[in-house]
């Protein structure tokens, strides 16, 4: 689609967690789309009395027990490093790799993080979602039911771990961080409520809830662009606004979906589309 096509000139709001990566912004900017990033969320490494012991358990599993280290978020790895120390994490990964510890990542960014730890065998799905990873592990001829460790956030989806357990895996899911709404009023709330944004990009149900808490009814002229079906399902909680499901989870696919939304072009997938419901 030509970028010269007339399109909605309003900027796109990216709802994010403070301190997180934002490759979506780079992809949208490359398409000539004006973006505004605002942290409606904040991720926090767990600081409860048992957090250190949970991190130590992850390292123990990596060193001597687990066959697979599952990673669905780079934030989980950063939290592990916060709690146990970067050197300790790398030593545990090296010990695990020496006995055959493999990695399984939800997408390219998490796969790169596992390879940076020194894991040579990393399973990566064609569709960068937890469901895509589960399907890939189920189809792999050389992957039998195994023992896995999954460091994660408190709001992590249960589908990957539960799906693997159904297949006979032993999966230890260990919470190391949480994602919460920021205490302050995000600077874009008034603009969002008044319809200044053509679209809002959200990547998780937590982000959807953060938007709804600040602007319960999105303007009818603002499209909520969801990173996947799970996020779109949470978006049904919003009483107003147009909801679109991205073509795929990668930044380029998000940017392509947003570009079509702004152009009002054909092929934009609505949440109500039966193929995506």
CA atoms 228, 174, 14, 210: torsion sign: positive
CB atoms within 10 A of CB 207: 26
Amino acid 142: pLDDT:
66
Determine the Cα–Cα distance for residues 205 and 195; give it in Å rounded to an integer: 22
| 161 vs 20 pLDDT, higher one | 161
For 50-111, give the secondary structure using H, E and C: CHHHHHHHHHHHHHHHCCEEEECCHHHHHHHHHHHCHHHHHHHHHHHHHCCCEEEECCHHHH
pLDDT value of residue 239 = 64
In the numeric block, which tokens belong to residue 227? 């990173």
Please say if the pLDDT value at position 4 is more than 70: no
SS3 5: coil
What does DSSP say about strands 12-18 and 35-45: parallel, antiparallel, or unpaired?
Answer: parallel
Give 145's pLDDT tier (boundaries 50, 70, 90): confident
Indicate the pTM of the whole model: 0.82
Closest CA to 160 of 125, 203, 116, 113: 125
Average pLDDT over residues 119-133: 89
Q: For 157-174, what is the mean pLDDT?
A: 93
Please give the average per-residue pLDDT across 105-124, as a whole number: 92
- Determine contact, residues 255/27, Cβ cutoff 8 Å: yes
Closest CA to 72 of 178, 158, 175, 150: 150
**Residue whose token pair is 């399902």:** 233
Answer yes or no: is pLDDT of 99 > 50.
yes
> Does the pLDDT value for residue 195 go beyond 70?
yes
Domains of the chain: 12-41+182-263 (3.40.50.10090), 51-179 (3.40.50.10090)
Answer whether 242's CB lies under 8 Å from 257's CB.
no
Lowest-confidence region among 223-227, 240-244, 248-252, 266-270: 266-270
pLDDT at 76: 95
The reported pLDDT for the residue numbered 222 is 94
What is the per-residue pLDDT across 47-65, written as a single tens digit (0 to 9) for each?
999 999 999 999 999 999 9
pLDDT band at 155 (very low <50, low <70, confident <90, very high): confident
How does the average pLDDT of the chain come out, rounded? 88
Greater pLDDT, 109 or 178: 178
Does the pLDDT of residue 269 top 60, yes or no? no
């Amino acid at each position: 689609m030509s970028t010269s096509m007339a399109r909605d000139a309003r900027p796109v709001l990216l709802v994010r967690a403070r301190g997180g990566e934002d490759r979506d912004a780079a992809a949208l900017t490359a398409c000539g789309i004006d973006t505004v990033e605002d942290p409606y969320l904040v991720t926090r490494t767990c600081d409860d009395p048992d957090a250190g012991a949970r991190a130590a358990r992850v390292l123990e599993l990596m060193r001597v027990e687990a066959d697979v280290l599952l990673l669905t978020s780079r934030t989980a790895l950063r939290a592990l490093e916060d709690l146990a120390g970067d050197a300790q994490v790398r030593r545990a990964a090296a010990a695990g790799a020496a006995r055959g510890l493999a990695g399984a990542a939800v997408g390219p960014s998490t796969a790169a993080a596992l390879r940076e730890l020194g894991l040579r065998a990393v399973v990566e799905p064609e569709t960068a979602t937890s469901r895509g990873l589960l399907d890939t592990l189920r189809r792999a001829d050389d992957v039998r039911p195994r023992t896995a460790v999954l460091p994660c956030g408190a709001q992590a989806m249960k589908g990957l771990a539960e799906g693997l357990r159904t297949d006979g895996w032993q999966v230890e899911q260990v919470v190391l961080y949480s994602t919460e709404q920021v205490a302050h009023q995000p600077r874009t709330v008034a603009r969002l409520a008044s319809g200044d944004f053509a679209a809002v990009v959200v990547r998780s149900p937590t982000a959807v809830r953060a938007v709804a808490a600040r602007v319960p009814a999105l303007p009818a002229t603002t499209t909520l662009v969801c990173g996947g079906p799970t996020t779109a399902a949470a978006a049904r909680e919003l009483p107003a606004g147009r909801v679109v499901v991205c073509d795929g989870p990668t930044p380029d696919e998000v940017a392509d979906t947003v570009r079509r939304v702004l152009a009002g072009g054909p092929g934009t997938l609505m949440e109500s589309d039966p193929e995506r419901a």
